[in-house]
Amino acid sequence: MMQTVRDATLDVLRRYALTTLYANPGSTEVALLADLPDDLTFVLALHEGSVVGMATGQAIATGRPALAILHTTAGLGNAVGALATARVNRAPLVVLVGQQDRRHLALEPFLTGQLDGLAGDYPVWTHQPARAQDVPGAVARAWHEAQTGRGPALVVVPMDDWLCVMPPDQVVAAPQTLLRPVAAADEAGASLAGLLARSVAPVLVVGAGADHPRTWSALVALAERLSCPVWQESFGARAGFPQDHPLYAGVLPAGRAQQRNVLSAHDLVLAVGAPVFRHYPYQPGHLLTPGTRVAVITDDPAEAHRAPADLAVLACPAIVVEHLAARLPQRPCRTDEPPPGRRETMAAPEVGEPLRAGHVLAALAVRLAPETIVVEETPSSRPELHRLLPARRPLGFVSAAMGGLGFALPAAIGLRMALPERPVVAVLGDGSAVYGIQALWSAARYRVGALFVVLANGRYAVLDRLAETADAGKPPWPAFEEVSMSGLATAFGCPARRITAHDELLDVLNDVVPSLPDRTQPLLLDIAVAPDHHFHP
The Cα 327–Cα 318 span in angstroms is: 14
Question: Residue 22 belongs to what H/E stretch?
Answer: strand 20-23
Query: What pLDDT score was predicted for residue 245?
Result: 95
Residue 1 has what pLDDT?
67
Question: Mean pLDDT over residues 463-479, rounded?
Answer: 71
pLDDT of residue 506: 96
CATH of domain 5-163: 3.40.50.970
Pinpoint the residues of the chain covered by CATH 3.40.50.1220.
185-327
How much is the pLDDT for 284?
A: 87
CB 379 within 8 A of CB 432: yes
CB atoms within 10 A of CB 170: 16
Higher pLDDT, 182 or 484: 484
Please, what CATH class does the domain formed by 357-528 belong to? Answer: alpha beta
Higher per-residue confidence, 531 vs 213: 213
What band does 365 get if pLDDT is binned at 50, 70 and 90? very high
Instruction: Tell me the torsion sign for CA atoms 241, 514, 503, 479.
Output: positive
Q: What is the pTM of this model?
A: 0.92
CA dihedral 408, 411, 415, 418 (to 10 degrees): 170
pLDDT digits (tens, 9 = 90+) for 210-226: 999 999 999 999 999 99
pLDDT at 437 over 50: yes
Residues 301-333 have pLDDT tens digits of 888 888 888 888 888 999 999 999 998 999 887
How far, in Å, CA of 258 to CA of 288, rounded? 10
Taking residues 280-307, what's their average pLDDT? Answer: 87
Read off the pLDDT of each residue in 448-471 and give the average, rounded to a whole number: 81
Residue 535: pLDDT band with limits 50, 70, 90:
very low
Look at residue 469 in the predicted model and tell me its pLDDT: 67
| Amino acid (one-letter) located at 215 | T
Read off φ and ψ for residue 212, nearest 5 degrees. -155, 140
Instruction: In whole angstroms, give the CA distance from residue 331 to residue 334.
Output: 9
Show the beta-strand stretches assigned E in 78-200.
Answer: 93-99, 125-127, 152-158
Count Cβ neighbours within 10 Å for each residue of 486-523 and write b for 16 or more, e otherwise.
bebbeebebebbbbeebeebbebbeebbeebeebeebb
Q: Name the region of 352 (left: φ>0; alpha: ψ -120 to 50; beta: rest).
A: left
Q: Any idea what DSSP says for residue 4?
A: B
pLDDT tens per residue across span 333-348? 765 555 555 556 778 8
Lowest mean pLDDT among 65-69, 106-110, 118-122: 106-110
Q: Work out the average pLDDT over 260-267.
A: 92
CB atoms within 10 A of CB 471: 6
Start-end of CATH 3.40.50.970 domains in the chain = 5-163, 357-528
pLDDT, residue 505, reads 96
* pLDDT at residue 533 is higher than 60: no
DSSP conformational letter for 283: -
Share of the chain above pLDDT 90, in %: 70
Which one, of 181, 232, 239, lies nearest residue 60 by Cα?
239
Residue 90: predicted pLDDT: 94
* pLDDT at residue 228 in the model: 95
CATH: 3.40.50.1220, 3.40.50.20, 1.10.150.170, 3.20.20.110. Which one for 185-327?
A: 3.40.50.1220
What integer is the mean pLDDT of 79-102?
95
Q: In this predicted model, what pLDDT tens digit does every residue of 190-205 receive, in sequence order?
A: 888 888 999 999 999 9
Q: Is the pLDDT of residue 471 over 70?
A: no
Tell me whether strands 93-99 and 125-127 are parallel, antiparallel or unpaired: unpaired
